[in-house]
C-alpha cells in the first residue's frame, strides 16, 4: 500500500500550474518564520485601521500599528463560511473541490480527506515546525485532526464556538449530544480531550491560544528551526464573551471588551516575535476568515460593504488582511489589488522555499510580487464566489456579477433570471436600484467560470462527507 508520505512527496514533486501565474518552485534561501493570526467572523469595519476601533467601542492600537509596519489589503477575499475559508487557506483550492464547501452539522465524515495536501505539510517537507492553536473546523475525528494534516502539534476546538452554549441550554443532555471538547494532540499520537468547551472556557480560549503560540515560537527559536505558527482565534464568533480580565474594561459592553482583548492578544504574540529577535525574519499575517457575525446581539459590521457571512455580498467575503515582513514588505503600503484565500498557500510556499502540489488543480496564484512591492497589480483578475455548493457570484476587476440573490444566511438563495451586475467602484453597497449597464463584463466573467468547469472534467469535485481513504478517479 502506498504510504501517505510517498503520496505527499509525489504530489509536491515538480511545479503546479497556477492560472496565468509563474509556476511556483522551491527557492533555496534563509527560510522566514510565519506567524498567521486568523480571527473568526471579524468584519471588515471592526478594526481601527479599517474604520472601526473606537467607533466600535474599543481602540485597536496594536493591530493598527501592525498595519502601519506592513501592507494593508483592502480587497482580500475569503470564502463565505468558516470551514470553506479554512480549507481554501490550507489547500490553495476552492473548498468546493475538497468536499468542504459548507460548515458541517454532523452525521457524515466532516473535514479534509487525507488526500489533500496542506500548507503545513508543504512547509513541513521544507523543514518547518508547525502548530495550530485555536479553531480547526476541518475534521472532528481521529485521522482528520491538524496533526493528521501536517501540523506537529495542536490545541483547540475541532468545530465551532457556539457549541460552548450547549451545556447551559434547557433540555440539553450529554447522552443525546456530547459536548464539544477542547482537544490537544501531537503528530504521531492520538488527539486527546482536555476539558469540555463551555462558556467559562469560551472566555479563556483566546488568551490560551496566544500563550501557547508564544511558547511554541520560543521553543522553535531556541531550537533554531523555522516555524509556522497558526493562531486561529475564536473571537469574535458568537457568543462574543471577553476574558474575565477584559470584562467591563471599555465600559461599552462585551463586544467592545472582546475587541480590546483581541488587540491585546495580538500584541502579546507580536511582542514575543520581537523579544526572540525574530522580527526581521518573520512574516506576520493577520486576517479574518469571512465577513461579520449575523446573529444578534453579537452581530458585527462590514464597514462600507453590504451583508454578512454566508452570503456573496462584499460584506460576506471581503475581510481585513495585514502582512508584515520588515525590509521585504514595504511599510505603510495600502493595496486594493484583488487577493483570495486560495492565494495564501502558493504565496507563502514561494516565500518559504516550499512547493505546492503538482498533481491537482491549484486555484491560488503566487502573490509574492504584490506583497513585496515588486508589482502593483494582482496576479489574478477575478475570483469565483461560492456559497455552499452554489457558484453564487463572480468578481472580475472592479465588477461583480451575482447569479443568485441571498440577503442573509437564513434567506433562501433565489436563482436570478438575469444576473445582477455591479460596478463596485460606483456602487460599493451593491444596491440593486443602481445596476451597472456594462454588460460586456459578462464575457470575461463567463471565461473564468468556463475554465473552472473545464478543470472538473479531469478532476471531479470531492463530495462532502467523502470518507478516507480517498483516491481521485483516473
Q: Tell me the C-alpha distance between 87 and 344, whole Å.
A: 11
Cα–Cα distances in angstroms (integers) from residue 9 to residues 6, 130, 150, 442, in the given order = 5, 18, 13, 40
Contacts of residue 60, Cβ cutoff 8 Å, sequence gap at least 6: 46, 47, 48, 49, 52, 53, 259, 260, 262, 263
Among the listed residues 101, 137, 237, 243, the single catalytic one is: 137
Residue 387 catalytic? no
Q: Which residue has the cell 476552492?
A: 94
Q: Tell me the C-alpha distance between 108 and 125, whole Å.
A: 31
CB 322 within 8 A of CB 73: yes
| Enclosing H/E stretch for 82 | helix 82-91
Report phi then psi at 418, rounded to 5.
Answer: -125, 120
* 15: nearest Cα among 251, 355, 316: 355
- The stretches of 342-424 forming alpha helices (DSSP H) are 344-352, 368-371
CB 402 within 8 A of CB 414: no
Cα–Cα distances in angstroms (integers) from residue 442 to residues 247, 395, 400, in the given order = 50, 10, 9
What is Dmax (Cα atoms) for the chain?
Answer: 61
Residue 137 catalytic? yes
Among the listed residues 82, 243, 340, 402, the single catalytic one is: 82
- The stretches of 305-366 forming alpha helices (DSSP H) are 314-317, 344-352
Q: What residues pair up with 384 in beta bridges, in sequence order?
A: 394
Exposure of 338 in the CB half-sphere (CA atoms within 13 A):
18
Q: What residues pair up with 425 in beta bridges, in sequence order?
A: none
First-residue to last-residue Cα distance in the chain: 18
Beta strands, E only, 325-455 = 333-335, 339-340, 382-387, 390-396, 399-405, 414-423
| Residues annotated as catalytic (active site), given as ranges | 82, 137
Amino acid at each position: 500500500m502506498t504510504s501517505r508520505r510517498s503520496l505527499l512527496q509525489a504530489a509536491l514533486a515538480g511545479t503546479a500550474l497556477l492560472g496565468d501565474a509563474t509556476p511556483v518552485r522551491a527557492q533555496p534561501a534563509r527560510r522566514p518564520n510565519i506567524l498567521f493570526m486568523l480571527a473568526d467572523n471579524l468584519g471588515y469595519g471592526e478594526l481601527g485601521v479599517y474604520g472601526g476601533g473606537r467607533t466600535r467601542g474599543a481602540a485597536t492600537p496594536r493591530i493598527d500599528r501592525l498595519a502601519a509596519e506592513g501592507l494593508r489589503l483592502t480587497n482580500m477575499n475569503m470564502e463565505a463560511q468558516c470551514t470553506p475559508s479554512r480549507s481554501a487557506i490550507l489547500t490553495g483550492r476552492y473548498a468546493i473541490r475538497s468536499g468542504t464547501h459548507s460548515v458541517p452539522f454532523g452525521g457524515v465524515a466532516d473535514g479534509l480527506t487525507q488526500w489533500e495536501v496542506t500548507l503545513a505539510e508543504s512547509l513541513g517537507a521544507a523543514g518547518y515546525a508547525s502548530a495550530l492553536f485555536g479553531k480547526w473546523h476541518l475534521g472532528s475525528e481521529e485521522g482528520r485532526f491538524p496533526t493528521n494534516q501536517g501540523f506537529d502539534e495542536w490545541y483547540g476546538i475541532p468545530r465551532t464556538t457556539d457549541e460552548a452554549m450547549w451545556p447551559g441550554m434547557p433540555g440539553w443532555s450529554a447522552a443525546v449530544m456530547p459536548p464539544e471538547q477542547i482537544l490537544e494532540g501531537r503528530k504521531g499520537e492520538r488527539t486527546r480531550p482536555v476539558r469540555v468547551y463551555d462558556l467559562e472556557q469560551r472566555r479563556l480560549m483566546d488568551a490560551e491560544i496566544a500563550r501557547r503560540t508564544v511558547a511554541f515560537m520560543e521553543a522553535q527559536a531556541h531550537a533554531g528551526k523555522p516555524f509556522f505558527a497558526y493562531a486561529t482565534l475564536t473571537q469574535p464568533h458568537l457568543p462574543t464573551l471577553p476574558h474575565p480580565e477584559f470584562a467591563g474594561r471599555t465600559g461599552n459592553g462585551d463586544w467592545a471588551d472582546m475587541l480590546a482583548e483581541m488587540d491585546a492578544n495580538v500584541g502579546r504574540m507580536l511582542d514575543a516575535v520581537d523579544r526572540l529577535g525574530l522580527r526581521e525574519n518573520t512574516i506576520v499575517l493577520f486576517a479574518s476568515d469571512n465577513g461579520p457575525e449575523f446573529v444578534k446581539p453579537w452581530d458585527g459590521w462590514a464597514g462600507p460593504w453590504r451583508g454578512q457571512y454566508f452570503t456573496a455580498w462584499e460584506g460576506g467575503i471581503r475581510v481585513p488582511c495585514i502582512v508584515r515582513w520588515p525590509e521585504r514588505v514595504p511599510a505603510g503600503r495600502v493595496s486594493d489589488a484583488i487577493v483570495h484565500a486560495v492565494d495564501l498557500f502558493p504565496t507563502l510556499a514561494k516565500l518559504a522555499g516550499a512547493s505546492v502540489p503538482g498533481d491537482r488543480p491549484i486555484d491560488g496564484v503566487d502573490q509574492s510580487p504584490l506583497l513585496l512591492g515588486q508589482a502593483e497589480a494582482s496576479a489574478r483578475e477575478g475570483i469565483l464566489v461560492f456559497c455552499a455548493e452554489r457558484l453564487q457570484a463572480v468578481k472580475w476587476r472592479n465588477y461583480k456579477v451575482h447569479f443568485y440573490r441571498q440577503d442573509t444566511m437564513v434567506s433562501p438563495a433565489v436563482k436570478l433570471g438575469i444576473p445582477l451586475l455591479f460596478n463596485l467602484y460606483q456602487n460599493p453597497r451593491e444596491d440593486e436600484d443602481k445596476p451597472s449597464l456594462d454588460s460586456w463584463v459578462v464575457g470575461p466573467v463567463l471565461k473564468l467560470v468556463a475554465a473552472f468547469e473545464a478543470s472538473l472534467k479531469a478532476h471531479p469535485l470531492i463530495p462532502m462527507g467523502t470518507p478516507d481513504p480517498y483516491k481521485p478517479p483516473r
